[in-house]
A and B are shown apart, each in its own frame.
Chain A
């Protein structure tokens, strides 16, 4: 039996020219002609943030919702959370709905964690005594026990998110709406979130999971819905939908215009730079213990060319290293190519990195070089998947340095000492 059914859901916003009729002039105009002569008053434009979205979800389904920014993912979740009212269609659901919209649930930043938990419980109809009992578990899972007394506005965004997630899953939801819970902070906690969501899904919780992290989507979702301009473009098996989505995205050049550098010349054009897992998926962050690839896609317009790619990696405003391909690679015919630079595991530290990519093109038999460069083409975060207990100082905060390579260590007794 389905526990969440949406039929023909649509949400229309009316955008009017003069900023929602707020200006004094339009106010007077409306006062003078209250019945609205359509000529002067209704310079409005309909914007459908959602149109004709239908789906059915069974208990235990983790439905990934993907799509480019502005595709209506958040609007859909807000409609399901009853924060906004749909213009068309209807939703029928069974059971308690808990939502994690944008950053965090509905928290009052001036209240301490304790009061916020009680308020959220009250909003969800959970008895006070029951909520009191769960507070300890909630704080423990969120790792914010020391900060119970301070108002949430003093929390870091990571702490805020952890608390929000922890509150949500401890409220015994039947349906969890999670919007971009992976967008902020602490990767180790995000791993725990994903694991927890997957676990609850097995126990029959229905989850709508919005994310741009295709790796996370692939790992925990058993169905994926791809929204495009407010409508469902594809709905089905994660593997197929994600593949199709990524192909669609990658087929367009999408390095923003504002980025510095020169990304096209008369021979070639750099289309985009992405971080890719060894499984070939588009990812937003790199697990420390896995090899990842920086993939530069470019298009050439002439045959018989060669390319030599290089990469600058920097963090905290410091250039960490520059590395280049050892040889020029042949590009026999015009077309789209991808250059992969493998970043071995256990090399980078748990930091955000920025990559600058450059490619030098040459026509065969010519000496002239045609360089392209994209500054800050890619930003990504490296995160640890194991608890870091093996380091000097042992705490996460004690980690310093721009890279954290794993070296080979040997400890042995010196030969002469052994003999003595």
Chain B
């Protein structure tokens, strides 16, 4: 902690302008370091992550930029990529199947569920690839490896931004058309924000497991897509939770309850549109599941870090 603090002080002081002198001081107080085979403890890891937080931003912006840089259509992709599947799915599920939608227009219902779900879905897929993707750097220089998975969710959040903008525009459209403003403006919106954070958090938690497995079995990056599709159907995105429970045979109901994404999506819809079923039980179960997946993931990642790098 002291180290981090000293770094932080040194860093902010040099921002004030006395660059060269500051740098000499930084160098003079060069820290002693030790390399040992023993695994670094989790607290030390967290401190280290904090010291390296600047690269987290660097990696995150990198991951977003690479989505449109060098592409002929440029930033168009930033908008098109998240929007295309939404329109296609709405056509299928909304117009053709006549799925119930908790009393709001289906497009809005679906858009709300999807924008939250996609943070998670795309996040897991990206985090899974993260160690492989940063191989060139990981094999040449040292930085806390956790930075690679954590920063990989950034594009999912940028996609969410696009979808949320669309959500707001749709609400305005319905306000003009029907005179009802579906978007909730008020403190409840904070629950929506919390749901977004939880979705990103859960995608990192799951990704910590899959990215390590990916270094061992390259098959993971394919299978994860199908796995996420399955997960998608047991999460109340296309149907409301009530419909989902009707569809699932009773002996499979536990899936709907144990699925930590299900309360997250419901929280989001409740916070943003005021629909959905948020019960204390489901939220607590969901949070407990999340914490279990996360802490297990961190321990697993930390334990297999060295071996994973050897295998890259």
Contacts and interface: CB of A to CB of B under 8 A. Distances in A.
Contacts, number: 121
B201 to A, nearest CB: 24
Contacts of A130: 14, 19, 22-23
A122 B141 contact: no
Given A94-B31, A122-B54, A130-B23, A82 B142 contact: yes
Given A84-B306, A99-B141, A92 B33 contact: yes
Nearest to B141: A106
Given A93-B34, A123-B52, A125-B52, 16 more contacts: A82-B35, A85-B309, A86-B36, A88-B37, A90-B35, A91-B36, A96-B30, A107-B137, A110-B70, A119-B62, A120-B141, A122-B58, A123-B55, A125-B7, A125-B51, A130-B23
Interface of A: 13, 20, 22, 27, 79-97, 99, 101-102, 104-111, 115, 118-120, 122-123, 125-130, 133, 151, 172, 174
B178 interface: no
Interface string B191-223: 000000000000000000000000011000000
Given A83-B309, A95-B30, A174-B30, A123 B35 contact: no
15 contacts: A81-B140, A83-B139, A84-B310, A85-B306, A86-B35, A93-B34, A107-B136, A107-B137, A120-B141, A122-B54, A126-B23, A127-B23, A130-B14, A130-B19, A151-B70
Interface string B17-33: 00100110001001111
Given A90-B35, A129-B19, A172-B27, A83 B140 contact: yes
A115 B62 CA distance: 10
A382 B97 CA distance: 75
A111 B35 contact: no
B311 A106 contact: no
B138 interface: yes
Given A123-B55, A130-B19, A90 B36 contact: yes
A129 to B, nearest CB: 6
Contact of B140 (A27, A106, A118, A125): A106
Interface string B216-242: 110000000000000000000000000
Given A84-B309, A85-B37, A27 B30 contact: no
Contacts of B51: 125
Contacts of A96: 27, 30
A22 B217 contact: yes
A115 B61 CA distance: 11
B14 A80 contact: no
B71 interface: no
Given A27-B217, A90-B34, A174-B30, A105 B311 contact: no
Contacts of A109: 136
A104 B140 contact: yes
A127 B136 contact: no
A173 B306 CA distance: 25
B30 A129 contact: no
B143 A123 contact: yes
Contacts of B34: 90-93
A289 B34 CA distance: 46
Contacts of B216: 22
A274 B123 CA distance: 56
A376 to B, nearest CB: 33
Among B36, B37, B216, the most chain A Cβ lie within 10 Å of the Cβ of B37
B299 to A, nearest CB: 17
Contact of B142 (A83, A89, A93, A172): A83
A-B interface, 10 closest residue pairs, ranked by CB to CB distance from nearest: A106-B141, A95-B30, A82-B142, A106-B140, A85-B306, A91-B35, A106-B137, A122-B54, A90-B36, A127-B14
Contacts of A129: 14-15, 19
A89 B37 contact: yes
A51 to B, nearest CB: 13
Nearest to B34: A92
A99 B31 contact: no
A22 to B, nearest CB: 7
A282 B7 CA distance: 46
Interface string B289-312: 000000000000000011001110
A127 B33 contact: no
Nearest to A111: B62
B11 interface: yes
A73 to B, nearest CB: 16
Given A101-B140, A118-B58, A79 B35 contact: yes
Contacts of A95: 27, 30-31
Interface string B139-172: 1111100000000000000000000000000000
A281 to B, nearest CB: 31
Among B22, B216, B310, the most chain A Cβ lie within 10 Å of the Cβ of B310
A82 B52 CA distance: 15
A104 B137 CA distance: 11
B172 to A, nearest CB: 38
Contacts of B36: 86, 90-91
Given A84-B309, A84-B310, A110-B66, A105 B141 contact: yes
A106 B136 contact: yes
A79 B36 CA distance: 10
A108 B136 contact: yes
Contacts of A172: 23, 27
Contacts of B310: 13, 84
A122 B69 CA distance: 22
Among B7, B35, B58, the most chain A Cβ lie within 10 Å of the Cβ of B35
Nearest to B51: A125
Contacts of B58: 118-119, 122
Contact of A108 (B7, B10, B52, B62): B62
Contacts of A22: 216-217
A102 B11 CA distance: 31
Given A101-B140, A108-B136, A119-B55, A94 B37 contact: no
Nearest to A103: B140
A102 B35 contact: no
